[in-house]
Amino acid sequence: MTIVVKTMRQERGSATRDVILATAERLFAERGIHAVSNRQISEAAGQGNSAAVGYHFGTKADLVRAIARKHTDQMEQLRVTMVADAAGSTDVRDWVACLVRPFTGHLADLGSPTWYARFCVQVTSDPALHEIMIEQALTSASLQMLVVGLHQCLPGLPPSVRDERSVMARHLIAQICVERERALAEGALTLYPSWDDLAASLIDAIVGLWQATMTHRP
């Protein structure tokens, strides 16, 4: 009997955590991570106790980390399969697809509206929270393999230019996804009929960017 009660309590705790995570992600995306307090999240998540966020997650950085982790775990599954398929390829396009499609595919899987792209760009551009995204990237085995695969296709590119273009590709993916996510959320026009079309256009563009002639030696 004690065990059953415990399990029900744990389930309730887990459901509460899920509601808090989803509410926080939405509020962060719509109003900005710094504009939203833990108390506001607790209230919007229907928690009687305004300290619920703190109780379940700790600090705001811990909450941000938990949201990021939930999504990166799901994207990792998509990426692992793609990277396995691309193994041994010397075509830049295959590796760029492994970079783009797990993100756009995940957004498509979530159904409309999504908030994750807007959440991501905020975390990435925040000096204090930025580390959380690096942490997530460093624990992704498939992302490490992707980077190795991509670099092997571009042997002539100096490491500093690789770093520059890698940052550019990341910004491009994030910003173009944010733009579509926001347009869908607001019922505005989007440039792309689907996440899949967006991915195809992005992959073309990023392949061009990686293969661009280097006129400038850093």
Among 14, 125, 139, 144, binds a copy of itself (CB under 8 A): 125
At residue 129, what are phi and psi to the nearest 5 degrees?
A: -100, -20
Residue nearer to a copy of itself on the CB measure, 155 or 217: 217
What DSSP line would sit under 15-34, residue for residue? HHHHHHHHHHHHHHHHH-GG
Residue 30's Cβ-count burial label (10 Å; 0-12, 13-18, 19+) is: middle
- Using rule CB under 8 A, residue 218 touches a copy of itself: yes
* Residue 97 burial (10 A CB sphere; 0-12, 13-18, 19+): buried
With contacts defined by CB under 8 A, name the span among 4-12, 62-70, 82-90, 165-173 that binds a copy of itself: 165-173
The minimum distance between CB 1 and a copy of itself, in angstroms, equals: 52
Looking at the Cβ atoms of 82 and 157, the one nearer to a copy of itself is: 157
- Please give the Cα distance from 180 to 39 (Å, whole number): 30
**Does residue 91 belong to the site contacting a copy of itself (CB under 8 A)?**
no
Q: What is the binding site for a copy of itself (CB under 8 A)?
A: 32, 34-35, 93, 125, 127, 160-161, 163-165, 167-168, 171-172, 175-176, 178-179, 182, 186, 188, 191-192, 197, 200-216, 218
